[in-house]
Structure 1
């Protein structure tokens, strides 16, 4: 019997458009011999809509986007219901949810917590890994605890920037210097990230980043190659061949990722065998540091001058567009796109089964 899978996309995030593109690729590629596929789009207000054309309608702003639905966080009656439930409509049964919600309100543990409350299977990392993977400051603290090498960085709150910007500038200049990167702690797809080569650019970078988050991370900039590794698994974890980003712009910003045709992905990355093993081993350590499950992409900085490897970040819900690194790296490793999606769904179902073994009430000792 086919399983019903609900792909959820859009959302209240600066990565709304990227989410729609990723979701469309996934919807097109899911194995129809195994899955009945439903598409759920969350608009920018946070309303949920169901329908086969919801992605295109969200892109064009064509309301209504579909049939209005609500998610029930009740483990005794989980699933979706349509807006008009006065007539005794039954919930729409879903076997597994596939959130493709990049950024806040989707990749940060919030929707994962909703699924956990309803006790339904879902794809990808759980609440803890998603929250830690989204917050770059917490992520870096966990990486440090695991002994993963990182570049020097500072964490700055928006309130401090607004009340003591001269002191913040002084801290950055004395402890990190130029160039440096300013990033919202809780954002992805390079949204709100800027490179600063001088004080004027640093001020502009902070003013841009604080529009997206109350917490910022400032990192030292060096001359690097950008290397990425895809990770797949639950308790048993595998790492793909590494790939290299050659950005069209000075660094791999939003436009270089999604708009610039001359950004290049080198798959596999031109690396020595020992370096490949180093990147793969560090990627698995990073995945375990946040207690990841299902999938993640781990990004590294490879110092062109010293040859040192630094971990940059983990992305617990990486992009799945036609040009995204995560599926391309697995394809180069031997897992085609459609098979990869099925494996990711199976990992979500397996994690759910494992969690059902946990007692929910106090039991007598054995």
Structure 2
């Protein structure tokens, strides 16, 4: 049988550009390892930070080096007509593997574009990707599915910036309804970008101002003393849940630096939890996946409040980090599915979803 051509799409216009390159390198290695090497051939496509698509030598160079193009090689802006001049060899792709993280990558935008090409792709479609990226509508979907969550409030940028009379009242409401500590987050960013844990009024004011600079919609969540656990999901209409993993760290919370600096966080896989709690987390992970109409891949994050026995859903990530040391593939490795096999399964799930 002829090999299928996998369009490996990476980089992207987001703050997680470098993480995407690391994920793509790991997937590339898996695709060139037997038996995948006998089934697939890779056609890499690199999206620069300015949105321009590159294939051929440029994409191969970035994939081989693990480094994005130098800023001097990526002008801030390219002409709109150039943005639509995709490389000619996109027509050779049999299936897309869009390993893009954050805005413009896992928020439904690239998924809509790939859907218009009428070519199968790995992962969730437009709806689930958009729901999974927007923390506010995500929580609405979880509430509708009966999944317990921490208490939260939605804030709009105009409440923070436009009227000096509104802002103090907003802070009063947050303090009255959520108290301290609480977390302030932009609604549509990943990897803990723009997130702050606050304990005082001055910290709250600064955090709201910062979050408003990233997004016009903000979510403020009540702090909770809990263990942070994660579960991976694999499948389409009948998804499976992996073993559960736990993240521990010494920093104040699981921020960007802690996530991506070696030695800042420890992973326990499987997590040392009571069997009943593990089963509950796995069941809730599948419910969350189905609630947003997920496909192929997702990682679902939870809080386990050990003192009360509560399990609270935090969020779902429809395109989690995919390096050899990322939580998602490590959870499946512990569940009996190797990295190489996992990549193959995701491709087959993408084909299955399109055929049906």
Tell me whether the two structures share a fold, i.e. TM-score over 0.5.
yes
2:17 is equivalent to residue 42 of structure 1? no
Q: Does the 8 Å CA contact 1:9/1:40 hold for their aligned counterparts?
A: yes
1:247-266, aligned counterparts within 5 Å? 247-266=249-268
- Contact conserved, 1:21 with 1:321, CA < 8 A, in 2? yes
Q: CA deviation at 1:335?
A: 0.2
Task: Measure the CA separation in 1 of the matches of 2:83 and 2:218.
Answer: 32
Distance apart, 1:119 and its partner CA: 1.2
Instruction: Give 1:81 shift.
Output: 3.3
Name the residue aligned to 1:16. 17
Q: Compared with structure 1, are the counterparts of its residues 285 and 300 closer, same or farther at alpha carbon in structure 2 (3 Å cutoff)?
A: same
Q: Secondary structure of 1:52's match?
A: helix
CA displacement at 1:47 relative to structure 2 = 0.3
2:6 is aligned to 5
Query: Equivalences for 1:73-152 in 2 at 5 Å?
Result: 81-82=87-88, 92-152=91-151
Q: 1:333, 1:92 → 2: CA distance? A: 36
**Conserved in 2, the CA contact under 8 Å of 1:43 and 1:58?**
no
1:59 maps to what in 2?
68
- Structure that is richer in helix per residue: 2
Question: 1:216 and 1:305 mapped to 2: Cα distance?
Answer: 29
Aligned to 1:358: none
Give the match for residue 196 of structure 2: 194
Question: What is the alpha-carbon root mean square deviation over aligned residues?
Answer: 1.9
Greater shift after overlay, 262-271 or 208-217?
A: 208-217
Q: Deviations over 1:119-172 (max 9, x none)?
A: 110000010000000000000000000000001000111111113221221111
Alignment partner of 1:155 is 2:154:
yes
Runs of 4+ in 1 over 2 A off after TM superposition: 54-60, 62-65, 70-73
Q: Quick one: distance in 2 between partners of 1:91 and 1:216?
A: 37
TM-score, length basis structure 1: 0.88
Q: Sort the Cα spacing of 1:245 and 1:57 in 2 relative to 1 into closer, same or farther, 3 A.
A: closer
Whole-angstrom distance in 2 between the partners of 1:195 and 1:71: 38
Tell me the alpha carbon deviations over residues 200-258 of structure 1, each in whole angstroms, 9 at most, x when there is no partner: 11122112212221111110001110000000000111000000000241211111110
**Are the equivalent residues in 1 in contact too, given 2:128–2:293 (CA < 8 A)?**
yes
Distance 1:93 1:288, change over 3 A: same
TM-score, structure 2 normalization? 0.91
C-alpha separation between the residues in 2 aligned to 1:71 and 1:326?
Answer: 32
Alignment of 1:337-352 (within 5 A): 337-352=339-354
Contact 2:244/2:331, CA 8 A, preserved across alignment: yes
Which among 21, 33, 36 is matched to residue 38 of structure 2? 33
Structure-2 change in CA distance of 1:158 and 1:34 (3 Å): same
Asked if the contact 2:62/2:69 (under 8 Å) is kept, the reply is no
